[in-house]
A = this chain, B = another copy of it.
Amino acid sequence: MAPLQFGALMIPYQTIDAIGPLDILSSASKKLIAAFEEADLPGMKGMTAKAIDIEFHHINETLEPVTLTANVRLLPSTTCDTCPALDFLLVGGPDPLAYKLSPRFAEFIRQHVAEGKVLFTTCTGALAVAASGVLDGKNATVNHAFVEMAKKMAPVVKWQKRQWVVDGNIWTAGGACAGMDMFASWVMTNYGMDIARFVFGALDFEPRDVEGALVLPRQHGVKSA
Taking Cβ atoms with an 8 Å cutoff, the residues of A that contact B are 14-16, 19-20, 22-23, 25-27, 32, 35-36, 39, 41, 55-58, 65, 69-75, 77, 95, 97-98, 143-145, 163, 174-178, 201-206, 208-209, 211-214, 218-224
Q: Are A204 and B219 in contact (CB under 8 A)?
A: no
Residue of B57, B73, B209 near A71 (CB, 8 A) is: B57
Q: Are B211 and A222 in contact (CB under 8 A)?
A: yes
List 21 A-B pairs, Cβ < 8 Å. A19-B20, A20-B20, A22-B70, A23-B70, A23-B176, A25-B70, A35-B97, A36-B97, A56-B71, A144-B201, A144-B204, A145-B202, A163-B204, A175-B203, A177-B204, A208-B221, A211-B220, A212-B219, A212-B222, A213-B218, A213-B224
Cα distance, A25 to B32, chains bound together (Å): 28
Cα distance, A61 to B22, chains bound together (Å): 26
Q: Are B175 and A72 in contact (CB under 8 A)?
A: no
**Which single residue of chain B is at the shortest CB-CB distance from A198?**
B145
Residue of B22, B206, B223 near A15 (CB, 8 A) is: B22
CB distance from A173 to the nearest CB of B (A): 9
**Contact partners of A77 in chain B: CB under 8 A:** 71, 73
Cα distance, A154 to B206, chains bound together (Å): 29
**Contact partners of A41 in chain B: CB under 8 A:** 145
Q: Are A201 and B175 in contact (CB under 8 A)?
A: yes
**Contact partners of A72 in chain B: CB under 8 A:** 19, 22, 56, 58, 74
**Contact partners of A69 in chain B: CB under 8 A:** 22-23, 26-27, 32
CB distance from A63 to the nearest CB of B (A): 11
**Contact partners of A56 in chain B: CB under 8 A:** 70-72
**Which single residue of chain B is at the shortest CB-CB distance from A162?**
B220
